[in-house]
Structure formats: structure tokens, C-alpha cells
């Protein structure tokens, strides 16, 4: 570790899916780390070695020498402040910067001369310097670029992915001036083994992050639109993609529900900012519309299948999975509730089961009361909405056993082999 990096005392504000792995990595590398979150219950759990997100293993969490705290005054002990709080969208699908601005005020109150504040939260280009820095100045009474400095280093953590971790993903860094850039690069370089990319400006780094997920969102939107087309043609999309995928330069994306705190959210940060410059981003917003409509499409398809079988009235429907992604307990911006709401509009109240989702959070966030596993029996239809490992381990026959004879199995992610299903089971996938 360079002397430039070693001299810095780190604070991390926001200990969720992004902030906690960052804090643990810096502590493991020998940095003094103040790990702060406004959620006192979360801090108490972490002190007991419990990470409800599942991103940091208990033994790794226990071995990290971190100072967990819900007291913002403790942040004053650090001089290199990393902000990793959520940046959601509101009900109108506009950027909601309230968590980020609140965190900026908190850090600003303890800011000292010589401190550096680095933001990792996904934002639109300009948010760090135009929205956050003025709050840091107002709360601290210090001058930006003279007394304190700023940087932006976008998070790239992939929840539930043990291979692509904070330390093993190339880190993009930026700084408000050349000296700050070098310091930020040195600090992150002391823990990130995959290498450092120095962006020429904070705005470039912000833009790079927001287009990463925008690009992915658009590629999935194309696959979803293709699935809508192939459905009308009576062709299974997975078969088409497997054939097309034999070409070396075919991009391997698949259709599905697009939720979570990144892919389903980040494009709106870019489009909102684009509109302030007088540009309406047709392609990006079209992709969002396609992806946001997939839950309703799946539900409507299921209802049509039930009607054709004469089972729509009083149908027993089970849904496996509520989280936004397989093997991850995160419920934020899940699109499975879109399926639930559409079925409810047709008078069908599905039984929803998810063994890794928090039941209280599911009810508070979506009004969904999770059903026990043994309640899913004698079903007219079963929707495998999220391909959790525990569901796939049951196998095709095990899942089909939850159905009445001639029941319907909806495979949202095309993760099952229909040839292994018992005779008489009606199968459909995106």
C-alpha cells in the first residue's frame, strides 16, 4: 500500500449491498474504517456478524476490523469519505436524490480541511458537483476545491455474484482536480486488484456508470420485444436464441423481468437529465416501456391459458419468487408484483412463496403476504418468476407435482427443460 493511500482514514456512509462490501474490503486491507448507516437495527445486526443482504460471508464480516456506528459524529474521525447510499426513482419515475442529499448534509457537518468526499451512488452527470458539493459547502462552511475535495467512483458490484466482487472489478475513479484524482486512485488501488481506470472528469465517470445499465436494459428490452413477437408466431424464444447464439458475435441476452435498484432505475437518471437539455431520448424510454410491461404480459398470457382450459374461475395460482433477482433477498423494484397486480385485476389472488425474501418487507413494500411452501399444492397454474437455486433443485417433476393434472407451468426465465415435465403439463416460457 502506498504512503498516499495508507495515510487516509476511510468512512463509508450507507451499508447496503454496495457500501458494506466496500467497507469490509478496505478494513481487510488494513485501513481504519468508520462504517456508518442511519439504520440502527442494521448496525446492531452487523455488530453481531449478521449481513441480511448475504453479500459478505459471516466469517469475513467477523474478521474485518470495522467501527460500525449509527452516530454521524463518528464520521469526523475519517478524512476520506465514501458515500454509497441508494438513488431510487419516485412514483413518476424521476430521480429521487433525497437519500443522497441527506447523506451529503450528514458528511458536510463533520467535514474538515483536507477531506475528500467520493460518491459511489449512481447518478446523472453533474449530480456530484451541482447537487452534492453545494450541500457539503453549506453544511461545513468550507470552500470546495480549496478546503475540501470531491471524487466520483461508480459502484459496479453485482449482487449475488461471488466472482465479480468489489476487489475484482476494474474501478473507475475521478477527482475534482489532478491531485485529488491521484489520491482517489491510490486509495482505491490499495484494495482493488483488477486495476484502476482514471476518468478525465467527475462527469465522465458519472456518465460511464449510468450508461452501463442503460445499455443492458436496452439489450434485454430487445429480447423481451422479440419474445412478444415470437409468442405470436408460436416459436419458443429460447430455441431461437440458442440457434442465433452459435454465431461468434451474437450478444447473449435473454428476456425476463427487469427490476432491482440498477437496471430498472438507472436509465431514468440519464433520460431525466437529457430532457433538461431539451432532448427526448426515444430509444431508452422505449426500452423502459417494453421492460416495464412484461409482468402484465405474463399475467395476461396465463389468464388466457386458464380460460382456454376452463379454469379461470376460482383458479389456484402459485408464484415462486418475489425478489428482483435469483438467490438475492433484495426486494427493491421487483417486477414480480406487476404479475400479482394483473392477476388480481382478473380476480385471481395468487399464493406467493419466496424462502429468501423478508416477509415483513414484502408486506410493507408490496402488500404481499408470503405463503408457506406447503400451501402450494393442487394448483391450476404455477409461475416460476425467479429462478432461485432452491426452486431449481426441485427439478421439473418436483415443480409439476404442485399442479393438478393438466395444470399450467409458466417459466419466466426459461430455466426449465419442458421435455422433463410429466405428460399433460402445459408449459410456456418467455
The CA-atom distances, in angstroms, between 245 and each of 222, 226, 382, 383, 429 are 15, 14, 29, 27, 18
- Kind of pairing between the strands at 196-198 and 171-173: parallel
**What is the per-residue pLDDT for 261?**
85
Cell of 205: 465517470
* Alpha carbons 309 and 408: distance in angstroms, whole number: 10
Q: How many CB atoms lie within 10 A of CB 226?
A: 18
Q: Read off the pLDDT band of 1 (50, 70, 90).
A: low
Judge whether residue 146 has pLDDT over 80: yes
* Alpha carbons 244 and 241: distance in angstroms, whole number: 5
Pairs from 72-75 (Cβ < 8 Å, separation ≥ 24): 72/36, 72/106, 72/109, 72/110, 73/110, 74/34, 74/36, 75/11, 75/13, 75/34, 75/36, 75/106, 75/107, 75/110
Give the percent of the chain with pLDDT over 90. Answer: 92
Catalytic residues: 262
CB 35 within 8 A of CB 217: no
H/E stretch holding 81: strand 80-83
Using one digit for the tens of pLDDT, what is the confidence trace for 288-314?
999 999 999 999 999 999 999 999 999
DSSP character at residue 401? T
* Alpha carbons 145 and 137: distance in angstroms, whole number: 10
What would the mean pLDDT of 164-193 be, rounded to a whole number? 96
Mean confidence (pLDDT) of the chain? 95
Amino acid at each position: 500500500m502506498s504512503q498516499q493511500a495508507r495515510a487516509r482514514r476511510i468512512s463509508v456512509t450507507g451499508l447496503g449491498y454496495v457500501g458494506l462490501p466496500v467497507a469490509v474490503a478496505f478494513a481487510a486491507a488494513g485501513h481504519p474504517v468508520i462504517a456508518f448507516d442511519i439504520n440502527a437495527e442494521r448496525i446492531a445486526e452487523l455488530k453481531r456478524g449478521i449481513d441480511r443482504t448475504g453479500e459478505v460471508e459471516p466469517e469475513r464480516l467477523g474478521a474485518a476490523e470495522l467501527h460500525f456506528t449509527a452516530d454521524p459524529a463518528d464520521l469526523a474521525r475519517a478524512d476520506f469519505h465514501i458515500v454509497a447510499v441508494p438513488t431510487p426513482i419516485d412514483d413518476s419515475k424521476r430521480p429521487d436524490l433525497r437519500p443522497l442529499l441527506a447523506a451529503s448534509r450528514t458528511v458536510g457537518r463533520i467535514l474538515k480541511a483536507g477531506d475528500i468526499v467520493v460518491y459511489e451512488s449512481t447518478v446523472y452527470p453533474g449530480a456530484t458537483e451541482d447537487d452534492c458539493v453545494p450541500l457539503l459547502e453549506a453544511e461545513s462552511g468550507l470552500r470546495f476545491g480549496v478546503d475540501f475535495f470531491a471524487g466520483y467512483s461508480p459502484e459496479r458490484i453485482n449482487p449475488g455474484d461471488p466472482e465479480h466482487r468489489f476487489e475484482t472489478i476494474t474501478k473507475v475513479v475521478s477527482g475534482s482536480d489532478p491531485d485529488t484524482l491521484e489520491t482517489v486512485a491510490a486509495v482505491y488501488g490499495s484494495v482493488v486488484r483488477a486495476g484502476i481506470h482514471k476518468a478525465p472528469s467527475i462527469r465522465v465517470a458519472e456518465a460511464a456508470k449510468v450508461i452501463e445499465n442503460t445499455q443492458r436494459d436496452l439489450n434485454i428490452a430487445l429480447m423481451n420485444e422479440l419474445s412478444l413477437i415470437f409468442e405470436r408466431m408460436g416459436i419458443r424464444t429460447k430455441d431461437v436464441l440458442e440457434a442465433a447464439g452459435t454465431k461468434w458475435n451474437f450478444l447473449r441476452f435473454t428476456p425476463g423481468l427487469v427490476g432491482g435498484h440498477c437496471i430498472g432505475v438507472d436509465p431514468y437518471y440519464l433520460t431525466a437529465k437529457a430532457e433538461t437539455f431539451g432532448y427526448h431520448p426515444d430509444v431508452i424510454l422505449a426500452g423502459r416501456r417494453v421492460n416495464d410491461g412484461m409482468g402484465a404480459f405474463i399475467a395476461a398470457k396465463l389468464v388466457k391459458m386458464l380460460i382456454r382450459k376452463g379454469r379461470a374461475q376460482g383458479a389456484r395460482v402459485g408464484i415462486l419468487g418475489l425478489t428482483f433477482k435469483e438467490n438475492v433477498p433484495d426486494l427493491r423494484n421487483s417486477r414480480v408484483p406487476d404479475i400479482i397486480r394483473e392477476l388480481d385485476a382478473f380476480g385471481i389472488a395468487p399464493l406467493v412463496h419466496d424462502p429468501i425474501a423478508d416477509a415483513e418487507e414484502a408486506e410493507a413494500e408490496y402488500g404481499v403476504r408470503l405463503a408457506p411452501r406447503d400451501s402450494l399444492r393442487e394448483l391450476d397454474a404455477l409461475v416460476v418468476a425467479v429462478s432461485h437455486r432452491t426452486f431449481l433443485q426441485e427439478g421439473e417433476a418436483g415443480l409439476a407435482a404442485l399442479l393438478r393434472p393438466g395444470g399450467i407451468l409458466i417459466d419466466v426465465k426459461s430455466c426449465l427443460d419442458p421435455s422433463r415435465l410429466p405428460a399433460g403439463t402445459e408449459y410456456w416460457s418467455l
